[in-house]
Amino acid sequence: MADTKVGAADVKALRDRTGAGMMDCKQALEEAGGEVDQAIAILRKKGAASAAKRSGRNTGEGIVASYIHADSRKGALVEIQCETDFVARNEDFQEFARWVAIHVTAMNPRHVSIEEIPSDDLDRERKILTEKAREDGKPDDVIEKIVDGQIKKWASELVLLDQKHFNEELYEGKTIADLVTETAAKTGENVKIARFARFELGDGGE
């Protein structure tokens, strides 16, 4: 497959779709034998590996992005961190930050990552699900596996990084974590969602 010839138009189309570099797109298409979906999978794997290498680097720059819904009744602030002021002013980085703010407004996550869920909440949910599995007559030797899967699903509904972006047409079912990885690959820097705050009219009232 490595000898497959790919046209410039195919490379550009893949770059427009993924945001990866031209040479990376060309190499991925050649490796995939011209199969676009497989090339995208190769690019994602490479991007995830690169992002993992950068994950320990200091993120001392970034922006606070905001979004207010058209009805002016709800909105969000998000802090997205990166390594340099140059990237913080980058258009792709700022667009990513704004879409995260829009997603937070629409989907109302509770935490950035699963690590932020209080252990008491996790233990309580695990106990409830375990008791229900027993009541449903599930065998003891598979209950833990069943509950692990249910906990993962429950957490994904609360955790920003695990949620699929609400605009599935635009982001093709990618999670927010996928978009962080893609943004890190585009910018060449460590990118991190540090925190967010969501506001809805009346939430803070008595």
Shared fold status for 8-54 and 118-158: no
50-69 mean pLDDT: 75
| pLDDT > 70 fraction of the chain, expressed in percent and rounded | 86
How is domain 8-54 classified at the CATH fold level?
Helicase, Ruva Protein; domain 3 (1.10.8)
Q: Which residues of 165-183 are buried (b: 16+ CB within 10 A; e: fewer)?
A: beeeeebeebbbbbbbbbb
Amino acid making up residue 97: A
Correct CATH for 118-158 of 1.10.286.20, 3.20.20.10, 3.40.1130.10, 1.20.1050.10? 1.10.286.20
**Is pLDDT above 70 for 38?**
yes
Residue 97 CA, distance from chain mean position:
12
Residue 7's pLDDT is: 82
**Is pLDDT above 50 for 205?**
no
| 44 token code pair | 């994602």
pLDDT tens figures, 116-174: 999 899 899 999 999 999 888 888 888 989 999 998 888 888 999 999 888 877 777 88
Is the model's pTM score more than 0.85?
A: no
- Which of 9-18, 70-79, 130-139 shows the highest mean pLDDT? 70-79
CB 107 within 8 A of CB 166: yes
CATH class of the region 61-112+159-200: alpha beta
Q: What is the mean pLDDT of the chain?
A: 84
Residue bearing the bigger pLDDT, 68 or 18 = 68
C-alpha closest to that of 143 among 157, 129, 159, 156: 129
**Helix 91-107 with 176-187: angle, nearest 10 deg:** 170
**Domains of the chain, residue spans:** 8-54, 61-112+159-200, 118-158
